[in-house]
Amino acid sequence: MSGDHDDAVISRQVRRLETLLEEKGIVGGDTVDEVIDGFLSGASPLNGAKVVARAWTDPGFKARLLADGSAAVAELGFSSGGVQPQRLRVAENTESVHNVVVCTLCSCYPLRLLGPSPGWYKSEAYRSRVVREPLAVLAEFGVELGEAVSVRVWDSSAETRYMVLPRRPAGTEALTEPELVSLVTRNGLIGTAVV
């Protein structure tokens, strides 16, 4: 999946917008950089991992997370949105269902909880193929699911972002919440890895 996308068009569009804002005197280049830095500060997959570890250790929190992801992550001091709020839905992996997240239109996902999106997530190859042939795409990531497991693909949008709640690995009952956090990866939160 990696390496098969081209960000050149988007980069040119972003640079053109920045130039127009600067030329019109609406905002200076330093301000644009400050806004972007502020937007990305605190955005990390570690945040999503903390949410997952809490759900694995606190059944009440897990129930709230699955019912209203936005409200539940706010309990931990996180937001799912960026400049404008989005609704967060959390899809739980089970013995019979594996969830995977995509944004077929662009690359929307809960930035604050997962950090900046990986290049492959933004690629047209991933965005189109994971919907049509999710098992093949997951296999390319090394995820082999049993025949009894069905795959659900969740398509993020400007209004709704998705995050996967991975299955808790067997044999981790004695681990503390911080120890559990270290097991969760960004790909696990997207659904392109198992924990």
Least confident of 16-25, 42-51, 71-80: 16-25
In the prediction, which pLDDT does 170 show?
A: 96
Burial, 132: exposed, middle or buried (Cβ in 10 Å; 0-12, 13-18, 19+)?
A: exposed
Same domain, 65 and 146: yes
Residue among 91, 56, 79, 80 nearest 179 (CA): 56
Same domain, 53 and 35: no
Assess if residue 195 is contained within a domain.
no
In the prediction, which pLDDT does 41 show?
A: 62
Same domain, 60 and 122: yes
In the prediction, which pLDDT does 4 show?
A: 41
Strand-pair category, 160-165 with 97-102: unpaired
In the prediction, which pLDDT does 2 show?
A: 42
In the prediction, which pLDDT does 67 show?
A: 98
Rounded Cα distance between 96 and 94, Å, is 5
Assess if residue 55 is contained within a domain.
yes
CB count in 10 Å sphere of residue 71? 12
Same domain, 51 and 100: yes
* Arithmetic mean of pLDDT, 29-57: 80
> Which of 14-23, 28-37, 144-153 has the highest mean predicted lDDT (pLDDT)?
144-153
Same domain, 175 and 124: yes
Q: Which two tokens stand for residue 15?
A: 């640079």
Count up the domains in the chain and report the number: 2
Report the percentage of the chain scoring pLDDT > 90.
65
> E-strand spans in 73-181?
87-92, 97-102, 150-155, 160-165
pTM for the complete prediction?
0.81
Assess if residue 114 is contained within a domain.
yes
Assess if residue 3 is contained within a domain.
yes
Same domain, 35 and 76: no
Q: Residue 84: which domain range? A: 42-190
Assess if residue 111 is contained within a domain.
yes
Same domain, 31 and 56: no
- Catalytic positions, please? 103, 106-108
pLDDT at residue 40 is higher than 70: no
Encode pLDDT of 134-169 as tens digits: 999 999 999 999 899 999 999 999 889 999 999 999
Rounded Cα distance between 117 and 94, Å, is 25
